[in-house]
Amino acid sequence: MTDARISGLRSVELGVPDLEVSSDFYRKVWGLEEIAAEGDAIYLRGTGAEHHVVTLRQRPKAELLAVHFSTSDRTAVAALHARAKAYGADAVSELTELPRVAGGGLGFRFRTPEGLPMAISADVAQHADVIADRARPTKLTHVVLNSARIDDQTSFFRDLLGFRHADSTDMMEFIRCCSDHHSIAYARGTGPSLNHMAYEMPNFDGLMRGAGRMKQNGFNIEWGVGRHGPGNNIFTYFIEPNGFVTEYTTEVEQVDEATYVPNTAEYWRNFPGRPCRWNMAGHPSNRLKAAMSGELTTDENLRCEEVMARTLGR
Ligand SMILES: [Fe+2]
């Protein structure tokens, strides 16, 4: 057994019913930059070094197509591929040279025990230029997934992929793969599905500027601005035009890999600042709760489309 493991979160790959409109939103409103397009896909970067943080693909309906992770090098990705096959992970693809348009590198795809699509890659091109703009996202910093079999998911990520436990609450399990307090969390629920994705803003002022841009374009703050308990990050949540929940966040707790000690659900149950350390944010809107659990009604989806049309002047 090698010590190869996941070293970070790269990007999310989203199926969207209208590629052009979704690209407009992610570029003009969310603050990403299109760097490549080919076939049914558009790749968008943040201001950090990661080649792309979002891939949009034309699909009949909105769906999560993959969460992409990094590992240290080609040897590590090959070791993780062999380990995934030996572990009996579902739908493990061949180890493949990745398209140059997506930054190249070596990688493979697989599914979690509940069937959620994942991918691991190494040796992907990085941007030499880091853009200084605090109002735009630097990177994808965490993804939260709904799970009906949370113990299976957590052990899969720990034993196969090398994640470590970060925190537990009654609602969620947080796991980490780098100095960020968490890169993945599982919400106890109906799953499997995408609960939300979070993008790091450089600082609090940048987060507020991004949130203001969203408001000016017709997207309500559905939860926040507040500061979470686990992870200590400042948050603000929105529903993007496809019905996915998306978060601007900043000041995510940085943990010392060697000394960090996770807290228990009991600890957080008795924590005074719930659900916001500032006692500011209150609870998420009902609309956000529905979107997080993948249960937005048709009416709500129509509202998303109206906002998108108004936003983009169509
Ligand atoms: Fe979050």
CA dihedral sign of residues 136, 196, 221, 263: negative
Alpha carbon of 297 to ligand 1 centroid (Å)? 22
Joined tokens for residue 58: 């034309």
Report the pLDDT value the prediction gives residue 153, as an integer from 0 to 100. Answer: 86
Alpha carbon of 94 to ligand 1 centroid (Å)? 32
Alpha carbon of 269 to ligand 1 centroid (Å)? 18
Q: Compute the distance between CA of residue 272 and CA of residue 47 in angstroms, rounded to an integer.
A: 35
pLDDT in tens, 187-244: 998 889 999 999 999 999 999 999 999 999 999 999 999 999 999 999 999 999 999 9
Confidence of residue 108 (pLDDT cuts 50, 70, 90): very high
pLDDT in tens, 216-226: 999 999 999 99
Report the pLDDT value the prediction gives residue 264, as an integer from 0 to 100. Answer: 96
Report the pLDDT value the prediction gives residue 154, as an integer from 0 to 100. Answer: 82
Alpha carbon of 198 to ligand 1 centroid (Å)? 5
Contact 144, 172 (CB under 8 A): yes
As a whole number, mean pLDDT of residues 28-35 equals 98
As a whole number, mean pLDDT of residues 10-32 equals 97
Alpha carbon of 144 to ligand 1 centroid (Å)? 7
Alpha carbon of 79 to ligand 1 centroid (Å)? 30
Report the pLDDT value the prediction gives residue 307, as an integer from 0 to 100. Answer: 67
Confidence of residue 1 (pLDDT cuts 50, 70, 90): very low
Alpha carbon of 268 to ligand 1 centroid (Å)? 16
Alpha carbon of 196 to ligand 1 centroid (Å)? 7
Alpha carbon of 140 to ligand 1 centroid (Å)? 11
As a whole number, mean pLDDT of residues 136-158 equals 92
Alpha carbon of 277 to ligand 1 centroid (Å)? 15
Alpha carbon of 2 to ligand 1 centroid (Å)? 31
Alpha carbon of 235 to ligand 1 centroid (Å)? 7
Burial 137-160 (b: 16+ CB within 10 A, else e): bbbbbbbbbbbeebeebbebbeeb
pTM confidence score: 0.95
Return the closest-CA partner of residue 187 out of 143, 224, 222, 226: 143
As a whole number, mean pLDDT of residues 258-269 equals 94
Report the pLDDT value the prediction gives residue 303, as an integer from 0 to 100. Answer: 64
**Does the pLDDT at position 311 exceed 90?**
no
